[in-house]
Amino acid sequence: MPALGNKTFACLERRLAALSRRRAPAIALLAAAGFLGSLLAALAAGLPYPIEHDEFSHLLAADTFASGRVTNPTHPFWAHFETFHVIQRPSYTTKFPPAQGAILAAGQVLFGTPAAGLWLSAALLTGAVAWMLYGWLAPAWALAGGALTLLHFAIYSYWTQTFWSGAVPAAGGALVFGAVRRIVDSARARDVLWFAAGLFLLAHSRPFEGMVASLPPSALLLGWMLRGRLRLVRLGIPLAAGAAAVLGSLAWYNQRVTGDPLRMPYQVYLSEYEAVSTLTGPAAEQPRYRNPEMARYYGKRWNETAKPAPHSGLARFIESNRSKITNLWTFYLGPLLTLPLFFLGGALRERWMRFAFWALVVVMAVLFQLVWVLAHYAAPVMALVVLLVTAGLRELRARGACGRFLSRGIPAAVALALLVRVAYPALPRAHAWAQRREAIRKQLEAGGGRHLILVRYSPEHIPNQEWVYNRADIDRAAVVWARELSAESNAALIRYFRDRQVWLIQPDTPGPRPHPYPSLPPHGSESGGGAPSSARD
């Protein structure tokens, strides 16, 4: 029934085509829909709370930036606060680049909750991809691609409904690829600024993958400029200034956090804790750990990657990349958005589409060399995926009545799938332990006073269920979570926080709840053990 709904779709398309010709209002409308849509989805499915290690770490960065600091001083009892994806020395902050923390901090400052930063990132993502597509496609198809971005990525995905990153580097990649097309077509200096802005977002969100994604457009741009001396003079200066700003900002941040402009926080964490690098594989030997949870977590990784592969050749390639392919295909395409790619052949006759296709292939080939790949690793080229899917829909529409029906039905099915996902959320929001931790924190904060919670894990504890994460300013936080270590060190920590009510929690017991700590030191004891008596001052 290829004519099903023809009148309704035709009327809707005429209205959207008219809107698409008004470029700036259309982009602004899509960005606003990204913010509002992700906000409403969060209210419908439940506001996010941190679960994964990465989420807690990004929230630490958000709290740091919202407090007006770039990083935090090392705490005198930092060993009790060691946790995943957080560096303690030479300063206390996230190991990740700062972009995700910065946008979460903007939400915390502007709206009172870091979750609002996710809604801001949804608006940034949708607007940036739509702006890119307007440089590559006819207005109506640019609007269609922006709508696909809104429905499939921006409103309800783990990029905008959890505190993991993804939307910011995707927006950065969209700015880079949108700018390079405009620069070659029009040679305007203002588009060089957009190119530099995209590089800035990539450098401060996913530096390695962003660098790989920016190589094809940078090489194209450099070759195009070298063929025209006037263009080199006119555009080379703002491009060099933009590159200097990106590199300078990276060096400044590294200097503030690690004390070395060439040493990233990620490198500090890698040398201190990680037994396996996603770039280089397992280390020659495991680092030494001060708590069994981190030793178990990273030891398992090291053992799994250090042992010889059971297969070789094609079988080894398929085995090692199966999870990567599954993760990327499920998130970026799925069955609905895969279909248009089968009709991409006509679009690839265009020179620019071939460039987009091969740029995507190059980046994916590099990503598949990593030890593991999650969907947000490929975020810098997400806009290219949307571009190729939209071009496939355009080719599909030219295939007669059935093609026209499918080109309309696929976006409609994506919208329906969005409604189903929001109504029956599949995102990992139902982890009982994380809900329990969040409830305990809120209950203690609501009850007033200041609290210290010592966390005692069992030998069988699952390291992914980590309770020890803290605010940026640990000493001023209402609730402080600390890892239980030796008796002497615990006593020194309790004396340091002598103005707090001290609790013990055992996460691996049924229905864990805080109990008064059983071995409080005598009142008025002097501090000792792991820190000087003046450390608290």
Domain end among 384, 405, 423: 423
Residues 247 and 284 grouped into a single domain: no
**What local confidence, expressed as pLDDT, does residue 119 receive?**
97
Q: For residue 20, count CB atoms less than 10 angstroms from its CB and return exposed for 0-12, middle for 13-18, buried for 19 or more.
A: buried
Write out the chain's pLDDT in tens, 537 residues: 888 888 888 888 899 999 999 999 999 999 999 999 999 999 988 889 999 999 999 999 999 999 999 999 999 999 999 999 999 999 999 999 999 999 999 999 999 999 999 999 999 999 999 999 999 999 999 999 999 999 999 999 999 999 988 999 999 999 999 999 999 998 888 899 999 999 999 999 999 999 999 999 999 998 888 887 657 777 888 888 999 999 999 999 999 999 999 999 999 999 888 877 676 666 667 778 888 898 888 877 766 665 555 555 566 666 668 888 889 999 999 999 999 999 998 899 999 999 999 999 999 999 988 888 899 999 999 999 999 999 999 999 988 889 999 999 999 999 999 998 888 765 544 578 999 999 999 999 999 899 999 999 999 999 989 999 999 999 999 999 999 999 999 999 999 999 999 999 999 999 899 999 986 544 444 333 343 333 333
Domain assignment of residue 482, yes or no: yes
Gap between the Cα atoms of 127 and 149, Å rounded: 9
Gap between the Cα atoms of 512 and 131, Å rounded: 49
**What local confidence, expressed as pLDDT, does residue 531 receive?**
39
Residues 300 and 438 grouped into a single domain: no
214: tokens are 């920016």
Domain end among 423, 448, 474: 423
Domain assignment of residue 318, yes or no: no
Residues 142 and 242 grouped into a single domain: yes
Radius of gyration of the chain (CA): 25
Contact assessment for residue 49 and residue 434, using Cβ atoms and an 8 Å cutoff: yes
Residues 411 and 436 grouped into a single domain: no
Domain assignment of residue 521, yes or no: no
**What local confidence, expressed as pLDDT, does residue 2 receive?**
80
**What local confidence, expressed as pLDDT, does residue 523 receive?**
44
Residues 487 and 362 grouped into a single domain: no
Domain end among 384, 404, 423: 423
Domain assignment of residue 341, yes or no: yes
Residues 288 and 384 grouped into a single domain: no
Domain assignment of residue 64, yes or no: no
Residues 135 and 222 grouped into a single domain: yes
Residues 289 and 342 grouped into a single domain: no
Gap between the Cα atoms of 171 and 25, Å rounded: 19
Domain that holds residue 278: 273-306
Residues 125 and 209 grouped into a single domain: yes
**One-letter amino acid identity for 499?**
D
Count of structural domains, the chain: 3
Residues 261 and 206 grouped into a single domain: yes
- Residues in the chain, how many? 537
Rounded to 5 degrees, φ, ψ at 438 are -65, -40
**What local confidence, expressed as pLDDT, does residue 533 receive?**
33
Domain assignment of residue 492, yes or no: yes
Give pTM, 2 decimals. Answer: 0.90
Domain assignment of residue 384, yes or no: yes
Residues 411 and 478 grouped into a single domain: no
Residues 133 and 174 grouped into a single domain: yes
From the list 217, 207, 184, 251, the residue with the least C-alpha distance to 383 is 217
Contact assessment for residue 154 and residue 108, using Cβ atoms and an 8 Å cutoff: no
For residue 47, the number of C-alpha atoms closer than 13 Å in the C-beta half-sphere is: 6
Domain assignment of residue 8, yes or no: no
